[in-house]
Amino acid sequence: MSIKAYYFKCCFWILSGIPIGLISQDRITGKSFATRSEIIAQNGMAATSQPLATQVAIDILKKGGSAIDAAIAANACLGLMEPTGCGIGGDLFAIIWDAKTQKLYGLNASGRSPASLTNEKLNALGIQRFPAYGPLPVSVPGVVDGWDQLHKKFGKIPFSDLFTPAIHYAEKGFPITELIAYYLKIYGENLSKYDGFSNTYMPNGKTPSKGEIFKNPDLAKTYRKIANGGRDAFYKGDIARTIDVYMKKQGGYLNYEDLATHTSEWIDPVSTNYRGYDVWELPPNGQGIAALQILNILELYDVAEMGFGSAAYIHLFTEAKKLAFEDRAKYYADMNFANVPVTQLISKEYARERNKLINPIRAAKSYDPGDLKAHETIYLTVADKEGNMISLIQSNYRGMGSGMTPTGLGFVLQDRGELFSLEPGHNNYYQPGKRPFHTIIPCFVTKDGKPWVSFGVMGGAMQPLGHAQIIINLIDFGMNLQEAGDAPRIQHDGSSEPTGEKMTNGGDLFLESGFNYEVIRKLVAMGHKVGFNVGGYGGYQAIMRDESNKVYLGASESRKDGQAAGY
């Protein structure tokens, strides 16, 4: 087209009332930081951190499987495709909305510490704190029993069918994404010294690079055994015996009896109401109620008036987090061993009392916990045409766990035991057969007793912060489901920990790129130590139910490889 012709065409558009900016089909709706629009579909939705796993979930839904069936199949694929975050050597938690009973169910599928690892043995070893890697921090992997429990209660198609896609990809191979190749390289450098790791994840002497086709035939065999023999094939069969032999060889304590006696636990989710919306988390040994404690404090303020990204909002959010995490450090633990005052911790009255400690213009160097009498992961969510929804999170901890890779099984064992405290009298003090404090948490939101949003934000201690920020973005700042996840995030490190470390000098505030430098200067003037962090802001997946239009909306994390898809 000539310049003259283009000039007359532009004049036509202007005279017709059509803005020239619209002609190029640029994205013109939503916030400036939004990466894309939400996904919308009628019959089902899946959002996971790997597009191939998302497509597997959709395929299961199309075959008549429930949301829970699809989640299990996707999780099995993620254990293969994203071993840097999850796998059958790890644990699982889930919140399920059952359309038939119109009720939420919670599942704690986390494992316990080895019965043979006594406190006397730890003292004899001179252990001051559990190590991050090796045989000592390994606890019972709970995910396979979790799948079994979920399927028995909510599954529709045969359990064995759920492993077919993962077995196919494990045998035939799949291309490694750029992000997973990056993480595999890092973990390979640290964990290749442990027996079995290199055989599984470095088959050609190095970890696979971006685009390389990766196969895991050992994991295919393990999945096939679970598909044919159910959860007992893992906890009482050849798999359990192989783990027992391997751990003894490595000088570990997890044994066959620990696996054979493992059970998951159905639990009731707990909630707080935030400006008319019920936000649901699972009670400890996880950290989910920290998000509820943060929200209870934030509800005392007009957050919407403060505005997203303002110094006032970021300061308030950070101080509320500090308060909640001091309670997290003191109280959160396995409730079969410790008295955790959940009702008090998430009460509105307690939030009002704790809020009195916040200085509106100055960052605190430290807080004491309330006086009461009582690290990488994957997250996925799926919804089906019957209205069932599942919020599921699963992890090895520290990405690839302990590095312990049992011979010929194709997966690593988790290192959750690292999160125990060795301080006598502490709620989270190590004991044999006890579940350690857990970081991974699923979330669910209902409105007037009906499902609204199923979501999660993976990433160690970032998770409660991520949950609270998503809720605030949706409710206070009016963002849509994708915008709520794309918005730049606030992270605070350095709070006291359930392992015994204490917060000193106020910790460190990290702000993702996208916050105004004038705001950062104000925060520094208020006493916050603002730092730079290239990662660690979590990974988000979400599904929203639009009851008026009878559709689902899906969103996926722009910082990961994820995909939301529907049909």
Residue 26 lies in a domain: no
Nearest to 315 by CA among 296, 329, 327, 297: 297
Nearest to 110 by CA among 272, 444, 335, 294: 335
Instruction: Specify the pairing of strand 530-531 against strand 508-511.
Output: parallel
* Per-residue pLDDT in tens (0 to 9) along the chain, 567 residues: 554 454 444 444 444 554 544 444 556 777 889 899 999 999 999 999 999 999 999 999 999 999 999 999 999 999 999 999 999 999 999 999 999 999 999 999 999 999 999 999 999 999 889 999 999 999 999 999 999 999 999 999 999 999 999 999 999 999 999 999 999 999 999 999 999 999 999 998 999 999 999 999 999 999 999 999 999 999 999 999 999 999 999 999 999 999 999 999 999 999 999 999 999 999 999 999 999 999 999 999 999 999 999 999 999 999 999 999 999 999 999 999 999 999 999 999 999 999 999 999 999 999 999 888 645 678 999 999 999 999 999 999 988 999 999 999 999 999 999 999 999 999 999 999 999 999 999 999 999 999 999 999 998 899 999 999 999 999 999 999 999 999 999 999 999 999 988 988 899 999 999 999 999 999 999 999 998 777 789 899 999 999 999 999 999 998 989 999 999
Residue 17 lies in a domain: no
Global confidence as pTM: 0.94
Tokens of 135: 């045989």
Residue 176 lies in a domain: yes
Beta partners for residue 278, in sequence order: 273, 446
Residue 394 lies in a domain: yes
CA–CA dist 14, 36 (Å, integer): 28
Residue in the structure block whose two tokens are 């029993």: 145
Residue 21 lies in a domain: no
- Residue 55: strand, helix, or coil: helix
Query: Domain limits at 490?
Result: 31-567
End-to-end CA distance of the chain: 41
- 166 Cβ neighbours under 8 A, 6+ residues apart: 56, 73, 76, 77, 79, 80, 220, 223
Q: Sort residue 397 into left (φ over 0), alpha (ψ -120 to 50) or beta.
A: left
CA–CA dist 53, 77 (Å, integer): 6
Tokens of 62: 């199309």
Question: Is 377 labeled as catalytic in the residue annotation?
Answer: yes
C-alpha torsion angle, residues 281, 283, 284, 285 (rounded to 10): -80
CA–CA dist 148, 229 (Å, integer): 11
Task: Write down the catalytic residue from 200, 207, 222, 377.
Answer: 377
Instruction: Specify the pairing of strand 378-383 against strand 508-511.
Output: unpaired
CA–CA dist 240, 326 (Å, integer): 38
- Give the total number of structural domains in the chain: 1
Q: Name the residue type at position 42.
A: Q
CA–CA dist 128, 228 (Å, integer): 43
Contact present, 372 and 80 (Cβ < 8 Å): no
H runs (alpha helix) in 429-486 = 462-475, 481-486
Residue 562 lies in a domain: yes
